[in-house]
Amino acid sequence: MESNYSNLLEAIKSSCIVIFDDDIVNLHNVAASYYTRKQSILQMPKAQAMVENMNALMDVNVLGIKAKVPSGLPVSYAVKPVVIISTDSRRSRVLFWSHVKREDDVELLIDARSGWDVTSIHTCKMDDGRSRQAYSDSLEAEGGNIPCSARAVGYNSIGVAANVAAIVKSYANNETFPSYIMQDYKTWSNIIV
């Protein structure tokens, strides 16, 4: 068991991108996310399916792990300088925040949220006290949970993914990027701070 844990830590350290997800691909994920119908029929683990899809588009060392971030694993092993959270519940965001806010290796947290026709992205520069407080406040102010199947609209996933990629690009190039983006695809309103 100890050897497997050591091997996992080494694989995580040597990967550019690490994906943790303990769920499988279901049919409603195909419309809402970047998964295929075949992956839903096979009930492929989401982490494995995402690695497969990313490798079809680019040559990046991606590691997919069918698990939640293990509670015994130091978060600093599981994360890179940029952490992207895209989870279904406020509870899981709060739990992840309680771990990641203590880590010195994390430089930027990007939290992508969506429900119905609305998406939002919160960024947190971990070395900035005001940014950390604003992110923490966003967790307190978050509204109710919307069932995952209620988010089954592909365009909001594509929009939020494009914005997350643009934020990562800006971070990598030392450019400015917003601390908050909200897009409402029904009313066509946007807020960028």
Strands 118-125 and 180-184 turn out to be antiparallel
- pTM reported for the whole predicted model: 0.78
Spatial distance between the Cα atoms of 108 and 126, rounded to a whole number of angstroms: 6
CA end-to-end distance (rounded Å), the chain: 47
SS3 for the chain, per residue? CHHHHHHHHHHHHHCCEEEECCCECCHHHHHHCCCCHHHHHCCCEHHHHHHHHHHHHCCCCEEEECCCCCCCCCHHHHCCCEEEECCCCHHHHHHHHHHHCCCCCCCEEEEEEEECCEEEEEEEECCCHHHHHHHHHHHHHCCCCCCHHHHCCHHHHHHHHHHHHHHHHHHHCCCCCCCEEEEECCCCEEEEC
Whole-number pLDDT of residue 115: 76
Q: Where in the chain is the domain with CATH 3.40.50.720?
A: 79-193
Whole-number pLDDT of residue 145: 59
Spatial distance between the Cα atoms of 122 and 141, rounded to a whole number of angstroms: 13
CATH code of the region 79-193: 3.40.50.720
Strands 82-85 and 62-65 turn out to be unpaired
Each of the 193 residues of the chain gets a pLDDT tens digit; together they read 455 656 666 666 667 777 778 889 998 888 777 789 999 999 999 989 988 988 888 777 777 777 776 555 555 555 568 888 888 778 888 888 988 888 778 899 999 988 778 889 999 999 999 999 999 999 987 665 555 545 557 788 888 889 999 999 999 899 999 999 999 988 999 999 9
Spatial distance between the Cα atoms of 181 and 164, rounded to a whole number of angstroms: 10
